[in-house]
Chains A and B, each alone.
Chain A
Amino acid sequence: MNMRHLMMSSTHKSALSQALHRSHRLLAKAGSWTCAALCGALAFIASTGALASDHKSYPATSCKPVHGSNGILGPRPDGSVENDSTAFPLTVICPIVRDNTVTTGAWSVSVHVEDANNSGSVQCTGLSMGPFGGVVDDQASLPTDGPGTGAAFLTMALAQSAEAGYYAVRCVLPPMGANGRSAVNSYLVKEDAGSVGLTDRKSYTATYAEPLTSDLGPPPEIPEIRYDDLGGARTDNLATDDSWALPLVRDSVGPDTFWNLSRFRFNDSDADLAVTCWIFTYNENGDFAGAAASDGFQLVAPGPVTVDIEVHPNTQPYSGPISLFCTGLQADAHAVMYDISELTRR
């Protein structure tokens, strides 16, 4: 985690607000799309009053189609995603790596979109979710409006977040129009930097999950995952248990950095499954460096479940990436998020 230590007085905020207003007008006069984009960015930057902030940007590559949406996801080679349907809108859910999982304050997201449909519009909704998937706050953007909207930033400022919760942003793209295909290009997230410490915990929307296949080729049935419109995911395979890869960013890199806790959360509507999660660590050349698994358990009642993988500390040094995967997932397990804590040892 990068720590940002920028303080802003109320005088500065006021000046900034006025200046932003003026610059918005000035740039809008130029009438170019670039202006609109820049003004959107300005609005985004001013959208929360955080004293110290952490920004991250994402290409839309990770956005996935919401199960049940009739549109057709078209991933573009420039990292954006579009709706290729001529008849139906497409709802996509875009995951976020939340970097400050401690505070309960404001955050904001700004999505760069293209609206190519003269009669429809693009609209996005920021989602602030609790650790087990409850909506803590949600905020819809204004829709793009009218013919010739073209490209725009849609900015959502959310007032609340939950400790140990997760974030996502959902967008609806209209069907293909006279001007082409509507798309999500990229998104920016701004959150409070939080307190300075030696532990860095990030939470991930379950939307990032991918079905784990085999090193030896395709299994008889390709497992699929249904992604929902709140960032959740569940296996589409009713016959057997599935395994998922849960991608991670290793953010603490160095000889004295380790992971020490990872959690996978889901809600189970049955009580007949036993999910096990694993973390493997590697060196840069692919040598296996260490592994840890969650304790085995058997659910006794439906409800929220947290699968912990914990080590105190991981004494096995590793110079490369960390991987996380979980096995034993059945269709009645509705996953919502996973997280990992990294620490720097003094």
Chain B
Amino acid sequence: MRQARTKWICKHAFRQGTAALGLASLAAFGKDAQAADDVKYFNGSFCRIVALFGDPATQGLLDYNAKGMVSNWSTTSPIKVACPIVRDILDHDNGWDSLEIGYSDKNPQSAIQCNVFSGSPDGTLSNEQMGTSVNTFGSSWGKAGMVFGSNGGGYDWGFYFIRCVLPPAPDVGMMSGIAYYRIGES
């Protein structure tokens, strides 16, 4: 809604002619290079807790390990985490080209659920895509179910954002978590 209103205002402003130069110049001045994909890997340890579920006494704390992973070590409660993306190309609304999440899923009963978004500067989220993990074994990471194509749109000067629910560990040390996330922009 807000995005639509912004677009209307911009359109109106252009029609008026008064803001055309300003906005056009803004687009030119702020324009990022339209080069090949700009790919970045982020450690899962960028992720922060958003919410706990279940018994607050468990205080489902996050585990940050030397691999750069963030995991849920609670054996009873899932945890919701927010994972920031440092968006590097901001001046157009094409969204990202690719996004994948590498994870470790040790819970055979409950998967990692992730939602990926474009956000406007005010925090309005849109263009949501959802992914679900599959079990991984040993120390291997998986990304099956968490590979996303272009999200079709972003917001000028907005941000990108990942939110995941990490299931509880079925046993001590059998933690599920986010190892990395990788984004391609152009």
Question: Hey, which bits of chain A sit against chain B, CB under 8 A?
Answer: 2-6, 8, 12, 15-16, 18-20, 22-23, 26-27, 30, 32-35, 37-38, 41-42, 44-46, 53-62, 75-80, 97, 112, 114, 151, 153, 183, 185-186, 188, 208, 210-218, 222, 245-251, 253, 278, 280, 282, 284-287, 320-325
Contacts and interface: CB of A to CB of B under 8 A. Distances in A.
A2 B33 contact: yes
Contacts of B157: 41, 44, 55, 57, 188
27 contacts: A4-B33, A32-B5, A38-B10, A45-B26, A59-B123, A61-B161, A62-B46, A62-B48, A75-B51, A76-B123, A77-B50, A79-B84, A186-B158, A188-B157, A212-B66, A213-B64, A214-B63, A222-B61, A245-B43, A245-B64, A250-B42, A251-B38, A280-B66, A280-B67, A286-B104, A320-B180, A325-B66
Contacts of A151: 122
A140 B40 CA distance: 31
Contact of B90 (A55, A211, A321): A55
B25 interface: yes
A218 B64 contact: no
Interface string B137-169: 001111100000000000011111101000000
A129 B153 CA distance: 35
B18 to A, nearest CB: 5
Contacts of A20: 22, 25-26
Closest 4 CB pairs of A and B: A19-B22, A323-B68, A23-B19, A286-B141
Given A77-B51, A249-B86, A285-B141, A26 B16 contact: yes
A3 B90 CA distance: 14
Contact of B159 (A35, A45, A58, A222): A58
Given A185-B123, A210-B70, A245-B65, 7 more contacts: A4-B31, A114-B122, A208-B46, A248-B42, A250-B40, A284-B102, A287-B140
B50 A32 contact: no
A73 to B, nearest CB: 10
A78 B123 contact: yes
Contacts of B70: 210
Contacts of B120: 37
Q: Give the size category of B's interface with A.
A: 35 or more
B39 to A, nearest CB: 4
Given A3-B33, A56-B86, A59-B119, A247 B68 contact: yes
B86 A61 contact: no
A79 B123 contact: yes
Contact of A79 (B40, B140, B159): B159
B7 to A, nearest CB: 10
